[in-house]
Amino acid sequence: MKLTPLYGEHKKLVARFGAFGGWYMPISYEGILAEHKACRESAAVFDICHMGEFLFKGEAAELDKAVTQNVSGLGEGKSRYGFLLNDKGGITDDLIIFRISEDEFMIVVNAATAGNDYEALKKLLRKGELSDVSGETAKIDIQGPLSRDVLKGTLGIDVGLKYFNFGHFDVLGERALISRTGYTGELGYEIFINSVKAVELWNRLLGDGRVRPAGLGARDILRLEMGYSLYGNDIDERTTPDEAGLDMFVNYDKDFFGKKELVSLKEQGMRKTKIAFKTEGRRSPRSHYRILREGKDIGGVTSGVFSPVLSCGIGLGFVKPGAVKDGDGITISDGKRVELKGKITEVPFLKDTSLRS
């Protein structure tokens, strides 16, 4: 398994590790709930070096043919979420494209899919130059209502970006890309910096007593409280953006790889549809539990956790189209002893976070 440049720091912090997308990653440090709380109420740092980064030098129109988001219409210093599809209209990966200049882009992809994405993009981008800079790029996220203050205090920079905007800043003598993005639902930043600076940056941020290190365990609860999909759980090659409730990240006014198949699938009607639900009590719904409506199996859970903020179970899943509507009662079952009463609800589960503050 692969290790990030911060592996030694995690060892010093006595992290608990686990496998994720081919990487040996910190799952938690002092405890998942404490780390979750730090991010919601103060600030938390995450080692996200496992994610992949590609640079593309070329025309926006060329990228537009490869991915679902509108790249040509993206201003410099802005980023946009979207998908790379397969030849069946399914999701090969979800990714964010950053427009650095007129003809220079950074593409940030998931860890487990990075190799596959690179091969697919290499074929799709006939003109221009694609390079994989994952190895030399460290990605450290700082997330939480105090994260702007923390960056000011620890790095002496006033970031002050709008949501999904980014800029280049001098960080520890290195030119770093900082974007106002994240996966937690809080005000936060993702810092992309030369990996030789990873350890120094990590420790500099943790030098602020208001910041806690947080692992992938807390990150999973944080993202699910916002209803964000996780690639491999909630979206995959057999799921279209439409089915996953993410059609707003597809620009149908242009041509892109997989569009024909996606449109054809849309015309035939969705095979399944994503739903979000809450369950009563402190018990956690879990991935692969079944979703029942009036005793009938209508689908399955793809992500589920106990939300510490809401003090109830929350989850995402897929059901047969039309099987339920918002507010309907459901039962979540493990097929054995666990039966949780639930209700279809809208996402985000959490509103009023510091995300857009």
Partner 1 sequence: MDIYYTKDHEWIKVEGRSAIMGISAYAVKQLGDITYVELPETGKELTKSDVVCTVESVKAASDIYAPVTAKVTEVNTSLDASPEKMNESPEEEGWIAKLEISSPDDVNGLMTAEKYEEFVKSLG
The encoded tokens of residue 320 equal: 């047969």
Closer residue to partner 1, CB minimum distance, 207 or 281: 281
Residues 5-34 that bind partner 1 (CB under 8 A): 16, 27-28, 31-34
Site size with partner 1, rule: CB under 8 A: 19
Does 46 sit near partner 1 (CB under 8 A)?
A: no
Q: Which stretch binds partner 1 (CB under 8 A): 74-82, 251-259, 267-275, 302-310?
A: 302-310
Q: Among 78, 266, 286, 293, which residue sits at the site for partner 1 (rule: CB under 8 A)?
A: 286
- Shortest Å distance, C-beta 181 to partner 1: 25
User: How far is 144 from 42, CA to CA, in rounded Å?
Assistant: 5
* DSSP H helices in 212-293: 216-225, 259-268
- Shortest Å distance, C-beta 222 to partner 1: 12
Q: In 10 A of CB 235, how many CB atoms?
A: 24
- Shortest Å distance, C-beta 20 to partner 1: 13
Q: What is the DSSP letter of 127?
A: S
Under a CB-based contact definition with an 8 Å cutoff, are residues 273 and 319 in contact? yes
- Shortest Å distance, C-beta 42 to partner 1: 18
Closer residue to partner 1, CB minimum distance, 104 or 339: 339
The encoded tokens of residue 142 equal: 């700082």
Q: Among 88, 210, 283, 343, which residue sits at the site for partner 1 (rule: CB under 8 A)?
A: 283
Return the residue matching tokens 């979540």: 332
Q: In 10 A of CB 112, how many CB atoms?
A: 18
Does 281 sit near partner 1 (CB under 8 A)?
A: yes
Residues 191-250 that bind partner 1 (CB under 8 A): 217, 221
Closer residue to partner 1, CB minimum distance, 36 or 274: 36
Under a CB-based contact definition with an 8 Å cutoff, are residues 96 and 81 in contact? yes
In the sheet where 91-101 sits, what is the strand order? 79-85, 91-101, 104-109, 52-57, 129-132
Closer residue to partner 1, CB minimum distance, 254 or 286: 286
Residues 106-165 that bind partner 1 (CB under 8 A): none
Q: In 10 A of CB 249, how many CB atoms?
A: 16
Does 335 sit near partner 1 (CB under 8 A)?
A: no
Task: Name the residue among 48, 30, 210, 217 with its Cα closest to residue 134.
Answer: 48
CA angle 16, 20, 25 (to 5 degrees): 35
Does 306 sit near partner 1 (CB under 8 A)?
A: yes
Closer residue to partner 1, CB minimum distance, 14 or 248: 14
The encoded tokens of residue 213 equal: 């290190």
Query: Given the rule CB under 8 A, which residues bind partner 1?
Result: 16, 27-28, 31-34, 217, 221, 281-284, 286, 305-306, 308, 337-338
